[in-house]
């Protein structure tokens, strides 16, 4: 190990020199502190923006989910209505065929009911 043999006066001057900054060092330290402060503010701003956009997206997803559920319910109702109309159409067609067959056979009761 190499040690520097300093007199007491040189030791005090060296120790005092650690706390006395030159103008260049003080300026550099000031810029570093300002840069660090700006970086911390930007970091908080980024986190805030991210959280706000994430919250906005979650609300939008919830809204779209509700809309999707309502649309599925409407589709189910329309499907049921379509099935009922299809059954009514089939029943009307069946009755029409029966009437035509009856007329074709010459049943007078159907012909008189039509007049």
Q: Which two tokens stand for residue 59?
A: 């609300």
Element (H, E) at 44: helix 23-105
Residue 2 lies in a domain: no
Specify the residue for token string 């900054």.
Answer: 21
Residue 37 lies in a domain: yes
pLDDT in tens, 62-111: 999 999 999 999 999 999 999 999 999 999 999 999 988 888 887 656 55
User: Is the CB of residue 52 less than 8 Å from the CB of residue 60?
Assistant: no
- In three-state secondary structure terms, 7 is coil
Residue 100 lies in a domain: yes
Residue 3 lies in a domain: no
pLDDT in tens, 10-31: 777 777 766 665 667 778 888 9
- Split into its structural domains, the chain has a count of 1
The span from the CA of 74 to the CA of 68, in Å, is 10
Domain hosting 99: range is 8-114
Residue 55 lies in a domain: yes
């Amino acid at each position: 190990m190499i040690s520097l043999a300093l007199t007491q006066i040189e030791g005090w001057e060296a120790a005092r020199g650690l706390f006395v900054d030159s103008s260049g060092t003080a300026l550099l330290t000031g810029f570093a502190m300002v840069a660090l402060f700006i970086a911390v503010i930007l970091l908080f701003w980024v986190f805030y923006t991210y959280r706000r956009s994430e919250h906005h997206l979650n609300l939008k997803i919830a809204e779209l989910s509700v809309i999707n559920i309502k649309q599925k319910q409407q589709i189910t109702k329309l499907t049921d209505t379509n099935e009922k109309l299809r059954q009514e159409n089939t029943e009307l067609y069946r009755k029409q065929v029966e009437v035509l067959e009856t007329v074709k056979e010459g049943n007078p009761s159907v012909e008189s009911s039509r007049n």
